[in-house]
Structure 1
Amino acid sequence: MKFPYEQFDRQGNPKSLSTRKGELTEEGLFLKKLEIPPESFIYASHHAKRVVLVYSEDHDPEKEPEFLILAIHKADPVEFTNLYNRMASTGKAKRERAKLSKEGRLDEYRDHTCPYCDATILLTGYAESPEIHCEYCDGVISPRVAAEDAKAVKVCQNCHLYDQPRKFQTFFFYFFVVFYSFGWQTKFVCNSCAKREARIMLLKNLIFVLGVPYALWQMMRVRRARVVPIESYAGLEEANAAAHRRQIDAAARLYDTVAARNGGSAIASYNKGIALLSAERFEEASSAFEEAILDCSNFSHAATMLVACMLRLERDPKDNPILAEFLRKNESKDQLTQMQ
């Protein structure tokens, strides 16, 4: 895959004034003055046209990984990210197999190929569960849910609830006599968050007028938008809307209905936990996150939130048997320890 690109630093400032040419192949990533072999790939994520690439030369856990922020052109960022992650996950799986083979535990190796992004999901050390979480595309794979329905449900960048996020652009214009400024931002947010973003954008632009037409157009677009309901997750958007209105008990009941209809749902239980957590109902939120992990044993989002709840309840996360699958794994243990 060949592509023109611009490189940015961690503050979002461009590192050069012109675009350069790069290429991503099975042999690695080739940029100007930088070549990264696929064995060094760790993870990639994308936001609009920008991609964030994480890599490490020797995968030493004691060293901080390297980061690259690129804006790629004339190439699909989703396809780029999936290709990078597919190679990263393949390399990780090979290292895991080699490690287990050396320890004489190769029979414990388990993995699953994500049907949405083709990444290899490592399941070694996790209990078998009905659903599987892909750490690369953030999808939840479930035999209870139609593949197209599961693929459509993602995390909203604002409220962090699973929903059907869509692209939303904000625009602001400011001027003070001889000084003026403008800015825009692209987000992928749920319908409830899009409505709130549109209201905020209109209010901020009212002061200087020039940004008002765009803000009004976005508000009309959001209000007229009709989200196509997902059959397998019917009621999820309604539950999320109730959570946004702070009607926590109503939202919890709706989430339970979604989960019961599917014979269990990590996504519905996770959203329920987030709603309860926002109301500081930590005990109930803990139970919801535990349900999510029981339905999806490698669901790292739920595990992280469960740790947060237990810390707020002044309990040791290591005493929770449901978190044992994560605490037994060095990588996950490091992540959970950092939260503490």
Structure 2
Amino acid sequence: MHALLTALVVASSARQLHGKVFTPEPIGALAAAVVEGVSGYGRYPCTRVAADGSFSPDQSMCADSVLVNPDPTGAYLGMYRGSNPNPTNSQCVQEPETGGYYCGIAGAACSSVRNCDNGVCVDGKCQGGLGYNCAGAQGRGDDSNCLGFLYCTSLTLQTASNRCGGEGAFCQDWSALDLAGQNATLVNEITGNFCESGYCNSKTGACANKCMTAGCDCTSDPDHACGEGLKPVVNSWGKCSCRAIEATRLQARTLPMISASSRARARRNLQLFDQFCPAAFTACNIGGTKGYECVDTTSNIEQCGACASSGGVDCTQIPGVASVACVQGSCEVWSCEEGLEYDAEQGACLTA
């Protein structure tokens, strides 16, 4: 991740939130905005985050003198839309899909396209947000009709759905992400903002649709992506299906344990399943069964840091914890049960 994306807005304040201390100040970097819950397709966040988590616009963050291009060295100029020149005299407006505020996105006032964060100026308003009809000459997709980090065409510049951020549109703008140095979870959160569906396939670099129903076949999706409440389960033939999380837990409780004589074969199977899991995921045994599931051990709250069978931690079982998350493979305590306080030195909730 380049320097622009590394700054997180963490500073002293009278209010403690989720075990960290935050100050209600502007967020000027894309990654920092996502960490704070501000999502969107614009290149220039102008969102103020209050101590209570509410958002408000900050027009001063759109001043020409303070805008920092996502690609300050121009390394990707001409290759990625995120490297295009900054807008001038841009207006801070809200992205209705997410609630975040950005400079010069859809709905911002404009007298010319120079006032917009890429895209087009139509009838005094910047246009080219998610779902905008981006067809150009002869019906071919035209990326210049899309705002911010949005694209109309595929990775190979082929016409996709002729909708900005529509199915098949490119969604891995390198000026927004240095993927080699990014946390996989953060990458998915950022690139998902560049798609109507909220999902950018990390292997194809294109906007796609997740399997949203239990039993849906996810074999053809290199990410094996499933919708909320579902998880991918890959069988020994490499077939992937999305299953309800509660159903897989029930299966883990009711199927028999693997016998000692089959453990060597189980290890070989685990290596096989790892080949079918997305790059950021690990094949973990579904407790007490012969099945495996793909788990992101950098963020999975019940298998944090590693699979449960390999020493991963169940963050929910830490004594005295009321709210906790798995962040980059380590349990991060956000709040403790009533009467307890978090002791950073001991990493535990202790009596106040």
Common fold, TM-score beyond 0.5? no
- Normalization by structure 1: what TM-score? 0.28
User: 1 or 2 for the larger relative contact order (CA 8 Å, sep ≥6)?
Assistant: 1
| More helix per residue | 1
